[in-house]
Structure 1
Amino acid sequence: MTLTRLMARTLLPFSLVASAGVQPADAHPGRYVDLVDYPDKEANWDRFYALQDHLGAEFHDLCGDTYCEGAYSNHVLLQFRCSVWRATGTVHACALVVGAGNLDVDTPTGRVLPDSRAWVCAAPLGADTPVEMLQAALERRGALLRPLPGSFFSLHDALSDCLN
């Protein structure tokens, strides 16, 4: 199990739900569903987490030479999530969570001093993008650099704007 998959299954969903003040999705079924749960609960689990791992690897390959310069040198794509309109199977919104941090040692005291930051970057989606079309586009090599279906912009464009 990759670190990304482990974090997605354990800590991060709880922290995002708690920090956003949002109730768990099962509490009030609505018009939208997490891409992982489309068309049914956990039906897209394996494909989605493989996609998230793929995007994480592409992010890692691009990061150092692009938007990841500056105060933090170790940006990591922590999570990618999309909401899907249940009735039509079209993607409503997607976001990427990027984290970065530094640890320094205070030499007089021996304490380890953290300095960390997280960003939530919205994906520039085209209107009414079908789930299958988005997933197929993001599974390709170079997915971060290619415009998203129905859009003139890529995830790379969104990350550049968000992180800089």
Structure 2
Amino acid sequence: MSPPGAAADHGSQPVWSLVMMLMNPLATVSLALGLLLATGASGAPARQDAYVDLVDFPHQEANWDRFYALEDHLIRAFHEICGDTYCEGAYSNHIALQFRCSVHAASGTVHACSLVIGAGNLEVDGGTGQVVPDSRTWACATPLGANTPVEALHAVLALGDPLRRPLPGSGRSMHDALIDCLN
């Protein structure tokens, strides 16, 4: 089929067929869907990981602000009670460094969380004048019950005194876990 008023030219047939197809709404949708599928296959790979960082749940950086506010809240709480609890003994200057959680992406449940604590001492060697470091880190697991929903974890840890609140599914607090971990 040639456009109206045009001489039959077999070289323009594929172009005219495309124009006619685009005029058909169903054909347009099919073409668009095909193009999306084709470009999706050559673009960035879809997430295949079973577990993601809590920051990236439900999608890349979706939980960024909320998670880092939670982490700051936990670190402040740690430093408020550190001197009276965990920060005695060989190391007196414990610092909460980072909190991280893994989430099972399909179910939206927290698989594991860990709070990293660092501590150290610096001493001067009187004979050599060297400053000698003595440092240690701990990765303290957060006691959670199986299948803890992301929202349940946020709800408990966002409240005042988050280290002493019982965590979902375990009845234990982060305070309990830190005493076990740091001693």
For 1:1-164, what aligned pairs fall within 5 Å after superposition? 29-164=48-183
CA distance in 1 between counterparts of 2:93 and 2:159 reads 25
* Pairwise CA distance, 1:109: 2.3
Moved more, 147-156 or 107-116: 107-116
- Which residue does the alignment assign to 1:13? none
1:69-115 deviation digits (Å, cap 9, x = unpaired) = 10000001111111100001110111111110011112332211100
User: Quick one: distance in 1 between partners of 2:179 and 2:137?
Assistant: 14
Q: Identify the residue that residue 21 of structure 1 maps to in structure 2.
A: none
| 1:53 partner letter | D
Distance 1:29 1:102, change over 3 A: farther
Q: What TM-score results when the alignment is normalised by the length of structure 2?
A: 0.72
TM-score with structure 1 setting the length = 0.80
Point out where structure 2 has 5 or more consecutive residues left out of the alignment. 1-44
CA distance in 2, matches of 1:155, 1:105: 35
Runs of 4+ in 1 over 6 A off after TM superposition: none
Give the Cα–Cα distance (whole angstroms) in 2 for the partners of residues 37 and 62 of structure 1. Answer: 30
Overall identity of the aligned pairs, in %? 69
**Which residue is 2:17 aligned to?**
none
SS at match of 1:64: helix
Q: Number of paired residues?
A: 138
Separation in structure 1 between the aligned mates of residue 80 and residue 50 of structure 2, nearest angstrom: 36
For 1:56, give the aligned amino acid: I
Based on CA coordinates, which of the two structures has the bigger radius of gyration?
2
